Every structure is written in C-alpha cells, then in structure tokens.
Amino acid sequence: MERRNFLKSVTAASLTGTLLTSCASSLEDGAKSANIIAKGTILHSVYFWLKEDISEEEEQDFLNFFEELRNVPGVHTLQYGKPAPTNPRPVVNNSFQYNLLVTFQNMDDINTYETHPTHLAAAEQYSKYWTKVEVRDVVISDT
C-alpha cells in the first residue's frame, strides 16, 4: 500500500512539474510573439538635435510636438525618448537629444501622416526648438 501511494505522489509531482514547465514555456513563447512587429509595418524613426541654448521650459514645450502628432490619422503607435547611456563605440551616435518612434500599419498611413495638416502645423510650430532632424523609415520584412 505504501509503495502505491509513493508512486502516485511521484507521478503527481512529475505531472505537475511537466505541466508547469509547459505553461511557462507557452507564456515565454507568447511573450516573444507579442514583441514581434508585424510584417509590412512601417517603422518611422526621427532623430532631433535641439538648439544648444534651449531652456528647460522650452524643452518641455517641445515635447508637446510629439503629443500633437498622436492626433494624426494612421499613427499606430508613438513613443519617444532620449539616447540611452550605452557604451561609446565607433558605430554608436548618441549626439541627438530625442528620438521619436512611430509605427504605421502600411504605406497609405505614413503617406497620410507626412502630408496631414496636423503634422505640418506641429512641425512648423515646434521647429524653432531644433537645429537638425533626421528621418529613417523601415518596412518590417520578416517576422
């Protein structure tokens, strides 16, 4: 009788461990797939070099530019930030002050964005804060 109970407990523990490992593995796979940008998505990356004598108040006002862009039709996601304090290397350029990352689901959406009155008006209003802007657009080709 004791042997039977022992085998049941070993089998139950083994099954539980396998089930938990399987669930954890599924969660990891789900998390990985959730981080993949869909094929055909346009990744619009914009780098901004602000004027050297810009005040903290002006820099805060500049950030309103990004918030205005959220209102442009076709914007799927919009995020922005400052350069990461990564290790200096010849291939790293952290000389910009802000990077804007916008995703669009297709070329029609980015074409609308580029010429939309809200985008153009915001660029005109806030361009007084920057000296240089560089844009890099990428079409995601593989998932």
Tokens 């560089």 belong to 134
Residue 96, domain CATH: 3.30.70.100
Gap between the Cα atoms of 122 and 18, Å rounded: 55
Q: What is the mean pLDDT of each run of 10 residues along the chain (143 residues)?
A: 52 44 47 75 98 97 98 97 95 96 97 98 98 97 76
Asked if 20 and 58 sit in the same domain, the reply is no
Asked if 23 and 2 sit in the same domain, the reply is yes
Q: Strands (DSSP E) along the chain, which ranges?
A: 42-50, 77-81, 98-104, 130-139
Count of beta carbons in the 10 Å neighbourhood of residue 11:
10
CA dihedral 94, 95, 96, 98 (to 10 degrees): 40
Asked if 15 and 72 sit in the same domain, the reply is no
For residue 42, the cross-strand partners are 104, 139
Q: How many domains does the chain have?
A: 2
pLDDT at 37: 86
Asked if 90 and 134 sit in the same domain, the reply is yes
For residue 50, the cross-strand partners are 130
How much of the chain is in helix, strand and coil states, percent to nearest 5? 50, 20, 30
Asked if 99 and 68 sit in the same domain, the reply is yes
Asked if 20 and 82 sit in the same domain, the reply is no
pLDDT at 4: 57
Asked if 60 and 111 sit in the same domain, the reply is yes
Asked if 24 and 48 sit in the same domain, the reply is no
pLDDT at 32: 53
Sign of the C-alpha dihedral computed for residues 132, 92, 139 and 37 taken in this order: negative
pLDDT at 5: 56
Asked if 76 and 109 sit in the same domain, the reply is yes
Count of beta carbons in the 10 Å neighbourhood of residue 46:
18
Domain that holds residue 5: 1-35
Is the pTM higher than 0.85? The answer reads no
pLDDT at 116: 98
Asked if 4 and 74 sit in the same domain, the reply is no
Asked if 107 and 75 sit in the same domain, the reply is yes
